[in-house]
Amino acid sequence: MIKTFHRLIRISIGKDTDFPFILSSQEWKSIYSIAKDQTLLGICFADIERLYNNKPEVLVNLPKELKMQWYAIATNIRHRNRIVNGQCVVLQKDLYTEGLRSSILKGQGIASYYGKNICHLRQPGDIDIWVDGTWQQVMELVAKRTPNKEFDLKHVHYNVFKDTPVEVHWVPSTTSNFILDRKLKHFYRQQANVQFNNKLTLNGNETITATDPFFDSIHLLLHILGHYLYEGVGLRQVMDYYYIVRHADVQQRKEEIVAYYKDFGLYDFSKSVMWVLKEVFGLEDNYMLTEPNKKSGKELLKEIMKEGNMGHASVCLSENNETTMHRWYRRWKRKLRLIRFNTIGVVCNPFYKVKLLWWKQKVIKLYNL
């Protein structure tokens, strides 16, 4: 079923046209389940629509009730994208009135690169927004409007929409690797003015400010690695990266991007991801940013298919009937197994956690949260 699912993905992005399978009813249910785990139900429904119009005989065993359920979810995803696009516009205007320039991270910005046929079927999540301000400015704003204790060293939850979580970042990301953390902060300072002025038109003609493909090629790979090390990563995140890698701006700046990969300790991991991009999405060799590594790539793909988006599909990541000690043991076992991708970060992680706890208590007291 995994290979068949990958074929459906390639059809959805226009890398394949032939679907030579007549699946059974149970096999269609399995495909649906995999797509749900990977938060790719909308993208895969584009294939169902295309097959229905061009090769309806392959859908003969697709249960009618499953098709209707799939259609309803795809319709809701289209609706949610329109809502979240609008919320991005409202949020940025609101922050601007507070004197804060901003840029949308990942999410709706990257969805715009998917192409007109499927960008509205990418399943939206929360809104991550990077603001041109200090953590004190951001915390003061949030404490005044929607006070909460959901924050860490890079962002705070901003509960301004009932149906869409918002995370306001004063820095796009942090890491327990203190050497890399300093490098990243320097990179973000260098990039800030460009990213806070990068205008992007979304599907539906809304205009937002969002990070550009060059920035995303680095930030998104860091994000994927973070999820791989600590939670689990899904194909939706890798699909986002696929569209970033193929972007003309990224292709023109390959050498510069690879230099950052080496400096930020992403080079080896990028080889794993390149193999997945080729195996699942059919990325051509001329688009590769680094040489694919089949061995580590197969390991990564195995984890992706087992765990699903953010690790939610994995039985081993389920917190049902799991003690706190067992959860701690499981997570550290994972970190140690993947330590080669972030040795200093894993070693320094306990100190990072202590720093976070100390800082959170300080901020809670400072803003009476």
Q: Taking each helix axis from N to C terminus, what angle separates 267-281 and 294-307, rounded to the nearest 10 degrees?
A: 70
Confidence of residue 62 (pLDDT cuts 50, 70, 90): very high
Q: What pLDDT sits at residue 315?
A: 45
For the beta carbon of residue 27, count every other beta carbon within 10 angstroms. 15
- Judge if 122 and 200 occupy the same domain: yes
The residues, ordered by sequence, that sit 6+ positions from 14 with a Cβ below 8 Å of its Cβ are 115, 117
The residues, ordered by sequence, that sit 6+ positions from 4 with a Cβ below 8 Å of its Cβ are 21, 23, 27, 31
Confidence of residue 16 (pLDDT cuts 50, 70, 90): confident
- Judge if 301 and 177 occupy the same domain: yes
Q: Give residue-wise pLDDT tens across range 79-101.
A: 999 999 999 999 999 999 999 99
Residue 143 included in any domain = yes
Residue 68 included in any domain = no
Residue 119 included in any domain = yes
Confidence of residue 120 (pLDDT cuts 50, 70, 90): very high
Residue 72 included in any domain = no
Which of 62, 91, 108 is where one domain is finished?
A: 62
Question: How buried is 153 (Cβ within 10 angstroms: 0-12 exposed, 13-18 middle, 19+ buried)?
Answer: middle
DSSP sequence for 316-347: GG--TT--HHHHHHHHHHHHHHTGGGSHHHHH
- Judge if 12 and 154 occupy the same domain: no
Over range 163-170, report the average pLDDT. 96
Domain ranges, residue 29: 1-62
Residue 18 included in any domain = yes
- Judge if 53 and 11 occupy the same domain: yes
Lowest mean pLDDT among 11-20, 206-215, 216-225: 11-20
Is residue 335 predicted with pLDDT exceeding 80? no
Please check whether residue 346 is in contact with residue 335, taking contact to mean a CB–CB distance below 8 angstroms. Answer: yes
- Judge if 52 and 91 occupy the same domain: no
DSSP 190: H
- Judge if 218 and 314 occupy the same domain: yes
- Judge if 58 and 110 occupy the same domain: no
Residue 73 included in any domain = no
Lowest mean pLDDT among 14-28, 41-55, 192-206, 320-334: 320-334
- Judge if 84 and 52 occupy the same domain: no
Confidence of residue 330 (pLDDT cuts 50, 70, 90): low
Identify the helix (H) or strand (E) that includes residue 1. none
Please check whether residue 129 is in contact with residue 211, taking contact to mean a CB–CB distance below 8 angstroms. Answer: no
Residue 67 included in any domain = no
- Judge if 4 and 139 occupy the same domain: no
Q: What pLDDT sits at residue 317?
A: 47
- Judge if 160 and 220 occupy the same domain: yes
| Alpha-carbon 318 to chain mean position | 20
Residue 137 included in any domain = yes
- Judge if 328 and 272 occupy the same domain: yes
Global pTM? Answer: 0.91
- Judge if 57 and 96 occupy the same domain: no
Domain count, the chain: 2
Print burial letters for 69-108: b (CB count within 10 Å at least 16), e (below 16): ebeebbeebeebbeebbebbbebbeebeeeebbbbbbbbb
